[in-house]
Amino acid sequence: MSFTKTVTSAATAMCLLAGTALSASAATLMVGNKYAGTVSFIDLDTGQEMQRPIAGGSPHELAVSPDGDKVVVVSYLEDGYIGRELNVFDVATAEHLKTIDISPHMAPHGIAWLGDSNSVIVTTEETRDVITVDVAKGEVTGLVETGLIGSHLLAMSPDDQTAFVTSRGSDKVSVIDVKTMQTINTVKADTGPEAVDVSPDGKALWVGNNQSETIIVFDIDTMERKHVVETGFLPIRVRFHPDGEAVAVADLNGDRVVVYDVTSMKMKADIDLAPHGAHGPASLLFSPDGKSLFTGAQDGASVAEIDTATWTVSRVFETDEGADGLAFSDLKVGV
């Protein structure tokens, strides 16, 4: 159910000729291809897609275990399909290890690994709840109901004790105590909140609002609004640079990534992806060292790698249709 493929597009070939020093050697980038129902395993040392196994229906977001050896992929929803499972893969071999049935919870989407545990936390949008799942045991271990429409994405506090969940249809952000699996606060966002990320110091929460075309910056201690950024575009994803000084924002309809300075709230970079064939950026992930920013181009079947020293596209990787969720591991995937 998998194969080995060399990246051969002209854009990618040019980038490979330019060198691969920006990417972490012996590391793997995993990409959920939501339209094709597959996961791409890309060797970041060579820029080559090594494996592309089947991943179940509508694979959107992914989470990697603390040791980097496993990746969990959600099966979300699409026309005629509502997911009720998580699929677990071995990173080094891209082998499918198990399918975890999470019924009666449906349409898992946002996912994060909980610290050094065996568990992940997952939004299950169709049933309007958030669950924890023990990956080793393959069972649901915790539940909290948001009771809100479209509980889609989540972001974790640096200590993994608090989850922040955006609900697109209810225009709300839920604050969840992970230890007790209870909602401790619910605050109003703008219209269509989806993108969400926590600053590395744990002091600020950035929430992108699709229909309002705004980003709200909340003070995490009080959950009061500190700033509102009028983007003028649909900010489908937001992601902090590891140093906390910049935030990348994916402009889904504009085929670009915009970078804001955290202190000034001003735009510091505008990266056009269209010339590289990377259309419809819908996901963002910084490498742990902060030297690269990856963005999944769902309409271009590719992932663009951006050099954060210059904020320019350095490489483009071919994937499969609907390149979306991204995950990084220090382990190298084999053939």
Residue 315 has a CB neighbour count (10 Å cut-off) of: 26
The answer to whether residue 137 is domain-embedded is yes
Q: Is residue 15 part of a domain?
A: yes
The answer to whether position 141 is within a domain reads yes
Looking at the whole model, is its pTM more than 0.85?
A: yes
> How does pLDDT run across 7-29, given as a tens digit for each residue?
333 333 334 333 333 444 579 99
In a domain, 52, yes or no: yes
56 phi-psi bin (left φ>0, alpha ψ -120 to 50, beta other): left
Give mean pLDDT, residues 283-290. 97
Report helix, strand or coil for 275: helix
The reply to whether 132 falls in a domain is: yes
* Start-to-end C-alpha separation, the chain: 13
Lowest mean pLDDT of 21-30, 39-48, 170-179, name the range. 21-30
- For the chain, the domain total comes to 1
In CATH, what number is assigned to the domain containing residue 193?
Answer: 2.130.10.10
Question: What are 309-334's pLDDT values in tens digits?
Answer: 999 999 999 999 999 999 999 999 87
Phi and psi, residue 189, nearest 5°: -105, -160
Give domain status of residue 5, yes or no: no
Give the range of the structural domain holding residue 143, as residue numbers without chain letter: 10-329
Tell me if 283 is assigned to some domain: yes
Q: How many whole angstroms separate alpha carbon 271 and alpha carbon 287?
A: 18
Q: Is residue 1 part of a domain?
A: no
Q: What are phi and psi of 160, to 5 degrees?
A: 60, 20
Closest CA to 316 of 269, 258, 277, 274: 277
- Given a cut of 80, whether residue 302 has pLDDT beyond it is yes
